[in-house]
Chain A
Amino acid sequence: MADRPPRPERTGVLLALPTWLTLGVFFLLPLAILFVISFGQRATYGGLKPIVDLGLYLRSGKFLANYARSLHPIYLQIFWRSIWMAVVTTLVCLVVSFPVAYYIAVAAPARRRNLLLGLVVVPFWTSFLIRTYAWMFILRTEGLVNRFLVGSGLTHGPLELLYNNFAVLIGLIYGELPFMILPLYASLEKLDLSLLEASADLGAARSSTFWRITVPMTMPGIVAGVILVFVPSLGQFIVSDLLGGAKTILAGNLIQNQFAVARNKPFGAAVAFELTAAVLLLLFAYALYTKRKGQDVLL
C-alpha cells in the first residue's frame, strides 16, 4: 500500500504501543490511584470519605494521617518483623546456596550440569502456594515430623510446629532458595578458574583465595541473588498467612487485611506504598550498582 517503507522509528512505536497502553492503563494508572487514595480517609462503611474543602484538608495535615498511623508501635513491630525475617531468609539462602551453585558451575561433571540446573529451575517456576502447603502438611500436628517425634519417643506429645516464626522462616527459605541459586550459578559459571589456580600457585591459602578472588568475582551474582530473595520476602503474604499465626503477621498480611477484612483502603494503600518505596529504593541502589559495573540488566 504505502510506497515508502515506514520510518523505522514509527515501526518501533507501533510495536511498543499495545504494551504502553496496557501497562499504562492497567498498571501505572492503578498505582497512581492507589497513591492518591493513600492520602484519603475511610468513610464509616468502608469506601472513601468525600473531601469537602481540599485546601483545608491539605492544610490540616489530615492527608498524612494514614502514614502517621503506620508509625504506631503496633505497625512498626510488623514492619520490623518483615525486615528481620527477610534479612535472615536472605542470609540463610546465600550461605546455603553458594556451595550448591559452585558445585553446579565448577565442580560437577559437565554432563550432569544441565540436569542439576534444571532441577533448580523447576521449583523456581512452580507454585509457591503448593510448595508452602507442602510444609503445612509436614509440620502440622498430625504431620510426619510430629509422628516421627512421638513415635520415636523423643517427645511425649506432638509439638506445635506450625503458626510461629520458625515455620514462617522455613517456608520463606524453602520458597526463595532457587531464586538465590540461579543468579549465583550465572556468576560462578563465568568465573575464570585460572585465577584461582594462580592464586593457589602464589601460595594463597584456600580461604584467602575464596575471600579475595571468588567472592569479589562473583559479587554481581551475589547482589542479584540478595535482591531476588530479599524483595519478595519483604512483601510475602502466602507463607506468613499459611504457616504463621496471629503473632507472625508481616507487612503483606497487614495490607491484605486492610483491603479484605478491615475495609480501610486508604490505610492499606499507605502501607502498600511504604512497602513499594522500600522495594524501589533497593532496586534503585541495585541499578546504580549494575551501571557502575557496566553490566546489562535483564532486558
Chain B
Amino acid sequence: MRGRGRFLSVYAWLVYVFLYAPIAILVLFSFNRARQTAVWEGWTLEWYRSLAGNDLILASVKNSLIVGLASTAIATVIGTLVALALGRHALRGEGFTRSLLYLPVIIPEIVLGAALVTFYGVLSFHLSLWTVVIAHVVFCVSYVAIVVRARLSGFDRSLEEAALDLGARPLQTFWRVTLPLITPGIVAGALLSFTISIDDYVITSFVAGVGATTLPLQIYSMLKVGVTPEVNAVSSLLLALTVVLIVIAQRLQQAPVERGEMS
C-alpha cells in the first residue's frame, strides 16, 4: 500500500511538472540575454526595459485595461443582480435565465465572435474599443453570476429572515446582511471576470476595431511574426498579473461565512 501511494505521489508531481515547466521556461527565458537562440547567455532585464519603450505594447496595455475595467464593472453589477434574482427571489423564467447564463460560456468562442461581428455589421456599428467591451460583458456576466450564486447558496437564509423578523425592511436587510455576506463572492467574480477579459483573444480578434488592439491581440501579432524575447517578457508580465488575481479570487471564494465578516 505504501509503495502504491509513493508511486501515485511521484506520478502526480510529474503531471504538475508537465503543467508548469513550459510556463517556467517561458518566464526564465524572458530574462535571457541571448536574442535568437535557446542558449542561456546570462541574466538581463533588457527585454522588460524595451517593453517600456514599445509604444504599440503600451497602447495595447492601456486598451486592455480600459476594456477589462469597463466590462468587469458592468458585468459585476448585472451579474450580481441576476444571481440575487436566481438565489433569493421567485423568478418567472428561472430555467430560461439559467440556460441564458450558461450559453455564452459553453458556445465555442469562435461562434460568439462571428455572431457579434456579423451583428455589428448588420447594424453598421463602427468597430471600436466599445464593441469589444460589449462582447466581453456578454461572456463575463455568466462567470460573475455563477460565483455570486454559489456564495448565496453557501449560507442559509435564516440570517436574513432573522433581520426581517427583528423589523428590518427588505432593503435594509439587503444592505446590512446579504450584501456584506456575498461581498467576497462579488469581488471574486469581478476578479475572474477581469482575468478572462484581459486574457481573451478569440472573441476580441473578431470585434476589435482599428486602434482597439488589446494586449493578447498585440502578443498574437508579435508571435506570428516571430518569437522574440520581448514576447516572453510581456507574456510573463500578463501571467504574473493573472496569477495574482486568481489567487486572490480563490481565497475569497473559500472565505468562510462568519460573523466576523459582517462588520
Contact = CB atoms under 8 A, between A and B. Distances in A.
Interface of A: 5, 8-9, 11-13, 15-16, 18-20, 22-23, 26-31, 33-34, 37, 96-97, 99-100, 102-104, 107-108, 114, 116, 118-123, 125-131, 133-138, 140, 142-144, 146-147, 174, 177-178, 231-232, 234-235, 237-238, 242, 252, 255-256, 259-260, 265, 268-269, 272-273, 275-276, 279, 283, 297-299
A73 B60 CA distance: 41
A8 B89 contact: yes
**Secondary structure at chain B's binding surface: helix, strand, loop or mixed?**
helix
A16 B108 contact: no
Nearest to B170: A5
A197 to B, nearest CB: 12
A265 B118 contact: yes
A9 B92 contact: yes
Given A8-B89, A16-B91, A122-B246, A34 B101 contact: no
Contacts of B137: 22, 26
B117 interface: yes
B231 interface: yes
Interface in B62-98: 77-79, 81-82, 84-86, 89-93, 97-98
A134 B141 contact: no
A22 B78 contact: yes
Contacts of B146: 298-299
A27 to B, nearest CB: 5
Given A23-B138, A104-B12, A144-B25, A18 B82 contact: yes
Contacts, number: 251
Contacts of A297: 98, 102
Given A129-B219, A133-B219, A259-B117, A103 B239 contact: no
Given A9-B90, A133-B235, A279 B107 contact: yes
Contact of A19 (B16, B100, B122, B243): B100
**A-B complex: 8 closest residue pairs judged by Cβ atoms:** A235-B108, A12-B89, A30-B119, A134-B22, A15-B85, A12-B91, A30-B115, A19-B82
A19 B38 contact: no
